[in-house]
Structure 1
């Protein structure tokens, strides 16, 4: 492609775009790894999808580019199906290809013919892909650009010239239907050498070689005095299942002698003699013939090598690089179709046109939870807005009331929207974030050195140093593993620091007093505000619905006791 960059339907070549990769911990906290396992049962495909969807940028152009590509893929199931078939063929060629060879290689006739077939198959795939995209009703910049890229690739790689050369070579080589071999024997009828007599344009017909051979040696006048072939020769087919290779046949019949020791043998035949290959089966016959054919068909072999050398740099890799990107979109399209069919809501995300609104989600839900539910009608939908008046939410409520579910759902929506994928909501307006940071409870073994509180402090400091005013920070029960006084003191300073930075944040906590400090936080802040968000308590029952309101009482102690199983009822039951 003369140095031209490979095309991407996920990472457009826009100036000034930077990406950040979500950490493995964040992906696990949000349940992205479990969603990937729903998309594909293939571990390699899961890893590809994970790497793509976790590669984030706050550039609105990239988000819009991806969303429109996905919209085309989702809207055109026939295009998805046809492209999948072609990509499988191309991937097979790429995986087992021998086309990209060094020009100095001296490859034999049959391997060169195999290379020629591979190249021909690749050309057909590219042509069918061009036709497929030309007929489809695509409108996204990404897919239209890829279609144009294929046209450029087709011209620059000289596909038309390749097709012509391949056609001519196939025509020349297709006339070869059989070869005639000559075997020299000694007085005990042991084979001593083998050579190629001729290359023929017609196949031999099956006959009984045993009776013909017996008749020949019983009648002296039927034994030829020279090695010149008069065409009067019969053929007996040796089935693969009942025979050994040519090499094994020679090995069993007797030792191979050099044909050059037989002075009366024609020089042309003598030049085609090769030693047999030991310990080989049926492949040995083709390998042997390959070597002798190279000598008999010198000009054809040279033409084959010249053509393949000229096109050795054919850009199979350029198409192969975009296959994982298409797979990413196709798997998500199939996923959205499947779960839409059972009643889940999905929408195309819309980029926020307001400087103040970072997110406005209607009827959102936790997709990780939803795909595991037996009855999606039991799903609870929520609304939430991030703007300057609601930059940080202190989320409180009863234990097991859905606080973590809501916190996780927000992160999933941003990941999917920025990956171009339909969002689990009825409407989702947002401003892309540069990265997502999570602070969920750590596994026990990770806290051994520093203790739980020490580990939480170190991890939060790392998050704060990395996040920006364009980041999303999700805190889940942070600093709740120590005493109330200690936890509250650290949490209060953490909220003040996040408020100064301007990162949109959900702080899911049992520290209800933290939300009660909302007015103090806002008096100190200039541009950004803290709000109290609660999980509603419906007459003592968990509703799993959230709303902006002050905490419903100072119930943190009871919640923590329930969480760790130390209420009177839980201890004595």
Structure 2
């Protein structure tokens, strides 16, 4: 395998190319699921658009299942978080990578070949300068690097820098014999009756110098010699590349000093034509070299953007007073999910952007005895916030990022399938209930026992009795699949049938009840007042719909409606 191929396969996201290929997803997180769990809002915090945003989203949606890869990425974040100098270094390298991408800007098709060659050498200079700065930046933090990915980055930058210093001296030498031989040209000039030049053409390019031409001098500018001695010495003080650039630029200046007449343009055109093949061959070598190795930097800047953005998010959350931690990664087949003091990261960002919001932290523990949860509680009691928090944590974990919690042990899932109650889509023939059923059917046709299924008020578009029957079948199916799942619902009757489901339904899974968000409070005006706590705990369902409390909170209890109508003088 060539060195160039090896260089372009060095990645901060993947330990090696074989792992990257194995991790290629056939089914990734769907757009509907991204919307349901609030992933797009999280990506907004990276502050990028266009191709950058698409890349960041792909890292999240192509959920990595390899714990070695996840730890490989987490190690990089550890290094950056623990060493501000490394963050500064990577920020500098990102800026340099952007410069490298801008180096090769196509020139005009009708530009003279000599000018194209000068531009090619300038591109080489810029690339070398970028490498030099990149090397200097990473050497400052070299001893602090522990993450395998960052050590690979350091090694490849050193390799490219050394290779450039070597190739910079020999890349032109491949064409040296052809290119440095020309030392003079022979002109053919037609004169008018007054012996003034009318037409001219280059007859030959010679490998010897012609230093005296009195008659030609008088015709053109009166000098006794050629303007400059253009011998190209590869071992000269500045090296062959700089000598060529200097010679070509001075030649161009000399042409300008002589005249911009049709005669001179004709001579330049002839010289350009005669040197075309040599110059093209030389430019091909230069561009092949730059393009081969600069692609590494083009790919690198996207990966750097991901890690630098991830670190900025951690710092932003810390400034709010919350915590993000490195999760412990366990193999997929262990199905581990044990999280303490988790919270919804998007809610934390809302708190930072507006007035402070009380962020309640909760726990979750999936196991063989409780891998399917039915979550009940009052409206606006925190059910949706909780299940979104769980989903985002799983996505963040598999992207190789810290998660919003105090402590966590997690196994990867092969995908997250969501079904959230939504308005009827105008472009479907199913109707709202049909649309819900269609999406649920898709889930059971694609999910495995390594998936994570998140349902939120599913089938709520039908009557309560029908919804209960259909929801019960869904839970039976989840248990049969033995999948990790959580079903947030207003159907307390569904949660009350958990014992029946566990007893009568075949399958290894076990269903448990979670209750969200309300404590009974005694009030002078209302003995059945409930206060939302947003805490989610394992407990039997309350058996109440909290309808009276909800009605009063929105001012639509019978007493409140009567009071409103009385104030309006309607009664």
Pair 1:119-2:119 in alignment: no
Superposition deviation, residue 412 in structure 1? 0.5
Candidates 10, 14, 30, aligned match of 1:11: 14
Candidates 156, 159, 164, aligned match of 2:164: 159
**Is there any run of 5+ residues in structure 1 with no aligned partner, and where?**
174-183, 197-223, 234-245, 260-268, 275-288
Candidates 451, 461, 469, aligned match of 1:489: 469
Candidates 512, 518, 541, aligned match of 1:551: 541
Q: What root-mean-square deviation, in Å, do the aligned CA atoms of Structure 1 and Structure 2 show?
A: 4.5
Contact 2:383 2:516 in 1 (8 A): yes
Corresponding residue for 2:483?
Answer: 503
Corresponding residue for 1:531?
Answer: 512
The more displaced of 556-565 and 453-462 is: 556-565
Contact 1:49 1:328 in 2 (8 A): yes
Q: What are the equivalent positions in structure 2 for 1:178-197 lying under 5 Å apart?
A: none
- Matches of 1:436 and 1:123, distance apart in 2: 46
Superposition deviation, residue 85 in structure 1? 2.9
Task: Provide closer, same or farther for how the CA distance between residues 499 and 324 of structure 1 changes in structure 2, counting only shifts above 3 A.
Answer: same
**Is there any run of 5+ residues in structure 2 with no aligned partner, and where?**
180-189, 203-215, 226-255, 522-529, 565-571
- Matches of 1:296 and 1:466, distance apart in 2: 65
Contact 1:435 1:471 in 2 (8 A): yes
Once the two structures are superposed, residues 236-294 of structure 1 have per-residue CA deviations (whole angstroms, 9 ceiling, x without a partner) of xxxxxxxxxx8xx97xx9xx5xx4xxxxxxxxx7xx626xxxxxxxxxxxxxx7x5774
Superposition deviation, residue 388 in structure 1? 1.1
SS in 2 for 1:21: coil
Once the two structures are superposed, residues 40-80 of structure 1 have per-residue CA deviations (whole angstroms, 9 ceiling, x without a partner) of 14343222211112110322222222211222233333333
Superposition deviation, residue 310 in structure 1? 6.5
Contact 1:100 1:312 in 2 (8 A): no
Corresponding residue for 1:240?
Answer: none
- Matches of 1:432 and 1:297, distance apart in 2: 61
Contact 1:165 1:307 in 2 (8 A): no
Corresponding residue for 2:302?
Answer: 324
Q: What TM-score does the superposition give when structure 2 sets the normalisation length?
A: 0.74
SS in 2 for 1:159: helix
SS in 2 for 1:56: coil
- Matches of 1:350 and 1:544, distance apart in 2: 26
User: Matched residue pairs, number?
Assistant: 494
Candidates 395, 399, 403, aligned match of 1:415: 395
Once the two structures are superposed, residues 184-231 of structure 1 have per-residue CA deviations (whole angstroms, 9 ceiling, x without a partner) of 9999xx9988999xxxxxxxxxxxxxxxxxxxxxxxxxxx99415334
Q: What are the equivalent positions in structure 2 for 1:467-478 lying under 5 Å apart?
A: 467-478=447-458
Once the two structures are superposed, residues 312-343 of structure 1 have per-residue CA deviations (whole angstroms, 9 ceiling, x without a partner) of 65321123122211111111111211221231
Superposition deviation, residue 494 in structure 1? 0.6
Corresponding residue for 2:496?
Answer: 516
Q: What are the equivalent positions in structure 2 for 1:19-34 lying under 5 Å apart?
A: 19=25, 20-34=27-41
- Matches of 1:185 and 1:561, distance apart in 2: 105
Pair 1:42-2:16 in alignment: no
Contact 1:359 1:429 in 2 (8 A): yes
Corresponding residue for 1:441?
Answer: 421
Corresponding residue for 1:263?
Answer: none
Superposition deviation, residue 569 in structure 1? 6.8
Task: Provide closer, same or farther for how the CA distance between residues 565 and 387 of structure 1 changes in structure 2, counting only shifts above 3 A.
Answer: farther
- Matches of 2:54 and 2:39, distance apart in 1: 11
Q: What TM-score does the superposition give when structure 1 sets the normalisation length?
A: 0.74
Contact 2:458 2:489 in 1 (8 A): yes
- Matches of 1:402 and 1:11, distance apart in 2: 37
Corresponding residue for 2:114?
Answer: 109
Contact 1:394 1:508 in 2 (8 A): yes
Corresponding residue for 2:431?
Answer: 451
Task: Provide closer, same or farther for how the CA distance between residues 185 and 487 of structure 1 changes in structure 2, counting only shifts above 3 A.
Answer: farther
SS in 1 for 2:302: helix
Corresponding residue for 1:358?
Answer: 336
